[in-house]
Amino acid sequence: MKRNGPILSLTSILLYCFMYTPIVVVAIFSFNASKYGVAWKGFTTKWYGVLFNNEQALRAAENTLILASASAAIATLLGTLLGYGLSRYWFPRKKFVATLMYVPVVIPDILMAVALLMFYGLMRDALGIFELGLSTMIFAHITFQIAFVAVVVKARMVGMDPALEEAARDLGANRWNVFWRITFPLMFPGIMSGALLAFTLSLDDFVVSFFTSGPGSTTLPILIYSSVKRGITPDINALSTLMVCASVLLVAGVTALQPRKNYHEK
């Protein structure tokens, strides 16, 4: 193993500073007493109070949580089944279909957003379904979450020791019992980190939400975007700081669930 030289260390520390500059700046300004502009006028926590009395922000937070929980729940179910099926069973044209299933991971989000906007619009005109709102956003989020959940679950399945299931079968367990007593508990950490990943993706999504939302289904990222367009207010900095904290907690959750060897051996 090579040791890090001073130039490499210094460069890397500067790059870390660069990556964290925006996050730290938002956090600092959420405590800035100045209402306008970016000049520092002293420390205050009043913007957090303003935020918690901001009717619009509270409703957006509620929408965001409903959207993230509902979409993550359905996507976890569908994605887990997909990951399980793809890692277990063969079917004709499997390789091709499996590749297609990962398109949502790589497709630029603007493309998915406008395709869905158009699809919902045409469906509404033709059949009277898919009125833009929270439900259309949930469907949209599920669509990109499924693939991510499946990737995580499949990675977990690949690392599983098949001897455990074989042993259970040899000892007389039927298929149902093997699944619920052996396979599912082994898959569970993968399912949980897939669910957390899906939840975080939904919390962070702006582009897809922006195009598939209707009146009254504003989420926090959409609220932040419209405030940025109108001129940022300090309570939005407070909101962003809280969202960053939520992301940090979720990352910590996902990291804690990941088996160590994923980083070091594989």
Partner 1 sequence: MEWRKERECIFGEQLSPLDQTLRSLRTSGPAIVWTTLFLFVPLLGIVFISFMSRGSYGELQLPLTFDNYSRFFGFGSFGFDPLYPYILLRSVLLAVGSTLLCMICALPLAFFIAGLSPRYKNLALTLVMIPFWTNLLIRTYAWQMLLSAEGLVSKIAQFVGLVGEGMPLYPSLGAVYLGTLCDYLPYLVLPLYASVEKIDWTIVEAAMDLGAGRIQSFRHAVLPQIIPGLAAGIVLVFVPATGQFIVPDLLGGAKTSMLGNSIAQQFGPSRDWPFGSAIAMSGILALMFALIIYNRILAKRGGEGLL
Decide whether 69 or 247 has the Cβ nearer to partner 1. Answer: 247
The piece of 47-55, 65-73, 118-126, 184-192 that touches partner 1 (CB under 8 A) is: 118-126
Task: Enumerate residues 176-235 that contact partner 1 by CB under 8 A.
Answer: 200, 203-204, 206-207, 211, 221, 224-225, 228, 232
The whole-angstrom separation of Cα 28 and Cα 97 is 48
Task: Enumerate residues 64-103 that contact partner 1 by CB under 8 A.
Answer: 78-79, 81-82, 84-86, 88-92, 94, 97, 100-101, 103
Say if residues 26 and 241 touch (Cβ distance below 8 Å): yes
- Residues contacting partner 1: total by CB under 8 A: 89
Say if residues 33 and 43 touch (Cβ distance below 8 Å): yes
Q: Nearest approach, Cβ of 174 to partner 1 (angstroms)?
A: 11
The whole-angstrom separation of Cα 72 and Cα 63 is 14
Nearest Cα to Cα of residue 102 among 116, 115, 84, 83? 83
Token pair in block for residue 191: 């399912």
Which neighbouring-strand residues pair with 32? Answer: 43
Task: Enumerate residues 36-55 that contact partner 1 by CB under 8 A.
Answer: 37-39
Q: Which of 50, 65, 115, 173 binds partner 1 (CB under 8 A)?
A: 115
Say if residues 158 and 203 touch (Cβ distance below 8 Å): no
Helix residue spans in 172-260 (DSSP H) = 175-178, 184-204, 207-212, 220-230, 234-257
Token pair in block for residue 27: 């956090």
Task: Enumerate residues 234-263 that contact partner 1 by CB under 8 A.
Answer: 240, 243-244, 247-248, 250-252, 255, 263
The piece of 47-55, 65-73, 142-150, 186-194 that touches partner 1 (CB under 8 A) is: 142-150
The piece of 48-56, 65-73, 109-117, 184-192 that touches partner 1 (CB under 8 A) is: 109-117
Q: Nearest approach, Cβ of 244 to partner 1 (angstroms)?
A: 5
